[in-house]
Amino acid sequence: MDTSFTDRHWHSADGLTLHCREYGTASDRPPVICLHGLTRNARDFEALAPHIAAQGWRVLVPSMRGRGDSDYAEVSDSYALPTYVDDLLALLEQEGITQFVSIGTSMGGLMTMLLAQAQPERIAAAVLNDVGPVLETAGLDTIKTYVGQGRSFPTWMHAARALEEVHGTSFPAFDLHAWIAMAKRTMTLSSSGRIVFDYDMKLAEPILATPEAAAPVDLWPAFHALKGKPLLLLRGELSTLLSARSLADMQKVATGADSAVIPHVGHAPTLDEPEARAAIDALLARVA
């Protein structure tokens, strides 16, 4: 399978240069855009994207501001979902994309819902990976324990073991090879020779500044905007962010949606699992 990609760039309204990987070539199908989670980047989809492109799709995989090869924001307040959606719209405008298939993991799924609420015609189909309109407190509290800590490591082995300490309960079946692969997706070699997380630590500031008693944003209207579109709902069996009850409630709203629970995985499935791949392939076949 051809895993090559082209590096592309676009600009945000506030002047940042943002990075995107492009796989495959344009066709009469809407492109697929893969949207990563909070602390991740375009490398999260380095296995899934060429798999989809091999089926005749053009695939774009952006790194949102403050991640990967995209510029860091000057002020941390811009690390917020509305700004990420605006950045995505700027990419769509540059590429002349009127409609696309969204594959959104965690934060990427929230972006998908908010964009669908604002411009529903943009979404041809969507995959929501371990995320929905209700986010469980336990999962959010876990994220707050590690985001923005700025740790560094001398070797990839140390980095892998550190990830296992934090995320081991979400990926109990991972071996050392899998942890090293995750480390290389989420971290980078710094100019000092240390291995560091590949995101701006300041993106944690708006999250950690949110009062504990703050009322959660009602995302059900955003989810309703996806109702009636080809839709795939994925949940990690061990997830503490998307509960089984929330998934059932989502299925009641989007009665035509496909769904799959990925076994032995928490937040969030990598989308390299056989069950996830099969479900995504089936959704794309419906759209094609």
> Domains of the chain: which residue ranges?
6-145+207-287
Helix H or strand E encompassing 152: strand 152-153
Q: Is the pLDDT of residue 215 over 80?
A: no
| Confidence category of residue 20, pLDDT binned at 50, 70, 90 | very high
pLDDT at 32: 98
Dihedral over Cα of 70, 75, 76, 82: its sign: negative
Is the per-residue pLDDT at 211 higher than 80? Answer: no
How many CA atoms are closer than 13 Å to the CA of 143, on its beta-carbon side? 23
- Residue 216 scores a pLDDT above 90: no
Report the distance separating Cα 219 and Cα 223, nearest Å.
6
Q: Which residues touch 49 (CB under 8 Å, ≥6 apart)?
A: 5, 21, 23, 34, 59, 61
What's the confidence (pLDDT) of residue 1? 82
**Model pTM?**
0.97
Quick one: pLDDT at residue 152?
97
Closest CA to 164 of 177, 148, 147, 150: 177
For residue 98, the model assigns a pLDDT of 97
Tokens linked to 176: 């050392």
Average pLDDT over residues 44-57: 98
- The predicted-structure confidence for 65-111, as pLDDT tens digits, reads as follows 999 999 999 999 999 999 999 999 999 999 999 999 999 999 999 99
* Percent of the chain clearing pLDDT 90 (strictly above): 94
Question: What is the pLDDT averaged over residues 139-157?
Answer: 94
Whether the pLDDT of residue 217 is over 90: the answer is no
Average pLDDT over residues 147-168: 96
- Structure-token pair, residue 207: 């999250």
Phi, psi dihedrals of residue 208, rounded to the nearest 5°: -75, -20
How far apart, in whole angstroms, are the C-alpha atoms of residue 229 and residue 161? Answer: 41
**Token pair 């090293």: residue:** 180
Q: Identify the pLDDT of residue 255.
A: 95
Q: Average pLDDT in the 159-187 region?
A: 97
Work out the average pLDDT over 244-266: 97
pLDDT at 212 over 90: no
pLDDT band at 186 (very low <50, low <70, confident <90, very high): very high
CATH of domain 6-145+207-287: 3.40.50.1820
Q: CB-based contacts of 161: which residues, under 8 Å, 6+ apart?
A: 179
Work out whether strand 32-35 and strand 258-262 pair parallel, antiparallel, or are unpaired: unpaired
For the chain, give the mean pLDDT: 96
- CA-CA distances (angstroms) from residue 5 to 1, 43, 45? 12, 11, 12
User: Is residue 213 over pLDDT 70?
Assistant: no
